[in-house]
Chains A and B, each alone.
Chain A
């Protein structure tokens, strides 16, 4: 298990599981750092299958959504896969309002998401 900056990164077979260490993904400086850590997984480490587990996340702003959208684009450009799981209802509503629940593959829990890769 590797925890660096804002993320905890683990492996399950060939899937990279990413858990957020911050409960609130709101602060713009943190979002910039967090975004770069996510982009490094795709661009530097070339992780082909990434699961983002939102279990710890209680708040999330529109700036964070922007980073997730960019991450999705980068991952798709490399023919990689990105899935999301464990999103609490209030945050899922944020995805639904902005229709990003259509862009991302979202699963109730980690095991469901892992089975879908």
Chain B
């Protein structure tokens, strides 16, 4: 469980990177996982829990040599991930929302929100194994 403070997930992310290196995950995979988890945590803390100290972010995570999986749930009202503006549209370039979720979807194999939109599950199979299949 993490408090609703920006940077609260730093030690989790550092530990995750160390474990990815220990399992010899490719640099691009490690970069993408790091980025996707960072974006999801910031979304949960800033937009989900609105930096409310009385709310927590619940994180469950599993990493093996082949696969990574994480679930991040906040205590906010949730949002519609399909209702975000397209951040690549010229008129939205200055709009701050949408870019983080777009990066999560591109770097991870699986990104799924629950119906309420306050819980995201993400997964990734390491690229060198996925491409060998």
Residues in A lying within 8 Å of B, measured CB to CB: 26-29, 59, 61-63, 65-66, 69-70, 73, 89-90, 93-94, 97-100, 103
Contacts and interface: CB of A to CB of B under 8 A. Distances in A.
Contacts of A73: 94
Contact of B6 (A28, A62, A89, A94): A28
Chain B facing A: main interface SS = helix
A19 to B, nearest CB: 21
Nearest to A59: B34
Contact of A90 (B6, B31, B87, B102): B31
A59 B38 CA distance: 10
Nearest to A63: B42
A94 B35 contact: yes
A108 B132 CA distance: 31
Nearest to B29: A90
B88 interface: yes
Which 8 residue pairs of A and B lie closest in terms of their CB atoms, listed nearest first? A62-B99, A99-B88, A62-B100, A90-B31, A28-B6, A97-B106, A66-B96, A98-B99
Contacts of B46: 28
A99 B31 CA distance: 19
25 contacts: A28-B42, A28-B46, A29-B7, A59-B34, A59-B38, A61-B39, A61-B42, A62-B39, A62-B96, A62-B99, A62-B100, A62-B103, A66-B96, A66-B99, A70-B94, A73-B94, A90-B31, A90-B32, A94-B35, A97-B102, A97-B103, A98-B99, A98-B102, A98-B103, A103-B93
Interface in B91-127: 93-94, 96, 99-100, 102-103, 106
Contacts of A28: 6-7, 42, 46
B28 A90 contact: yes
Contacts of B34: 59
| Central interface residue in B28, B34, B93, B103, by most chain A CB within 10 Å | B93
